[in-house]
Amino acid sequence: MEMLTSRITSKGQTTIPKRVRDSLNISAGDVISFEVREGEAVLQKVTTIDPQWNRAVSATLTEWNDELDDQL
């Protein structure tokens, strides 16, 4: 595994190395997540839901809006 490094600025910002961006297919505007595991941080690209698709299918999911589901 290749170790890549980046420096943290005084504002807590950093640049994700190009090889990592290319490997994860990350570009400007994408959302990423960080998970801390035993002293290490895991970076992942977050798959976002298309708002139009979400609106289109939300009407078909009304059976999940039942209070009984919350109790089970």
Count of structural domains within the chain: 1
Q: Is residue 33 part of a domain?
A: yes
| Distances in whole angstroms, Cα of residue 52 to Cα of each of 27, 46, 55, 62 | 22, 18, 5, 17
Alpha-carbon distance 67 to 56, whole Å?
23
Is pTM beyond 0.85? Reply is: no
Taking only the tens of pLDDT, the chain with its 72 residues reads 788 999 999 999 999 999 999 999 999 988 899 999 999 999 999 887 777 877 777 777 766 666 666 665
Q: Is residue 65 part of a domain?
A: yes
- For 60, list phi and psi in degrees, rounded to 5: -85, -5
Q: Is residue 5 part of a domain?
A: no
Q: Is residue 10 part of a domain?
A: no
Q: Which residue has the tokens 């640049």?
A: 15
DSSP category for residue 18: H
CATH number of the structural domain spanning residue 24 = 2.10.260
Residues in the chain: 72
